[in-house]
């Protein structure tokens, strides 16, 4: 499955025109077996190479354990004194992960929206490349669910379709 996922990521990167994709080489769904300091150090290396000004990361309350581990490593790696180029960190929601969090965990409360109305069809078209991640409705990562969430977030923010984020850090 890793080979398939790598191929899908490469295809998506090409479609979006990404200049580069970094892979840390860790096994999917098994980050809990890797020392956190090692993960943080590798992430820090990449961040110092690319010097991002805005960083989009998974939501900390996601049910996916890898997401939580990555958020913790990123939180450590992006402290203002470690990455002075950074101006904002925003957590994103991931269908089938964010909305399936355990009861009593941190809720996803959006405080930042991006209008994706002109891009929604293309987003869905590119998402279909992830054959290993998308399914038939009522699967949470179906075309219908992606579209429905975008329309819902649009209605919350005054757009036709939107993506929602939780801003963790922002400086001007």
User: Per-residue DSSP letters for 75-101?
Assistant: HHHT-TTT-TT--EEEEE--TTTGGGP
- What are the backbone angles phi and psi of residue 133, rounded to the nearest 5°? -120, -15
Domain count across the chain: 1
How high is the pLDDT of residue 172?
A: 74
pLDDT of residue 10 exceeding 90, the answer is yes
Mean pLDDT along residues 141-160: 97
pLDDT of residue 2 exceeding 70, the answer is no
81 burial (CB, 10 Å; 0-12 / 13-18 / 19+) is: exposed
Three-state SS for 46-58 is: HHHHHCCCEEEEE
How high is the pLDDT of residue 5?
A: 84
Domain of 35, CATH number, reads 3.40.50.10320
The 10s digit of each residue's pLDDT in 15-70 is 999 999 999 999 888 999 999 999 999 999 999 999 999 999 999 888 889 999 99
Domain that holds residue 127: 2-170
The 10s digit of each residue's pLDDT in 101-136 is 777 677 899 999 999 999 999 999 999 998 888 899
- Compute the distance between CA of residue 147 and CA of residue 23 in angstroms, rounded to an integer: 29
What secondary structure letter does DSSP report for 59? -
What secondary structure letter does DSSP report for 16? H
pLDDT of residue 1 exceeding 60, the answer is no
How high is the pLDDT of residue 20?
A: 92
């Amino acid at each position: 499955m890793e080979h398939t996922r790598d191929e899908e990521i490469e295809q998506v990167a090409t479609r979006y025109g990404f200049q580069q994709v970094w892979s840390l080489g860790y096994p999917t769904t098994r980050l809990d077996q890797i020392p956190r300091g090692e993960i943080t150090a590798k992430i820090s290396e990449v961040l110092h190479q690319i010097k991002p000004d805005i960083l989009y990361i998974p939501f900390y309350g996601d049910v996916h354990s890898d997401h939580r581990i990555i958020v913790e490593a990123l939180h450590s790696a992006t402290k203002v004194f470690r990455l002075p180029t950074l101006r904002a960190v925003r957590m994103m929601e991931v269908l089938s992960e964010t909305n399936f969090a355990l009861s009593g965990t941190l809720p996803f409360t959006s405080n930042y929206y991006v209008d994706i109305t002109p891009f929604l069809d293309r987003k869905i078209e590119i998402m279909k490349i992830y054959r290993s991640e998308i399914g038939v409705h009522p699967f949470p990562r179906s075309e219908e669910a992606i579209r429905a969430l975008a329309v819902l977030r649009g209605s919350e923010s005054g757009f036709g379709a939107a993506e929602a984020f939780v801003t963790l850090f922002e400086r001007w």
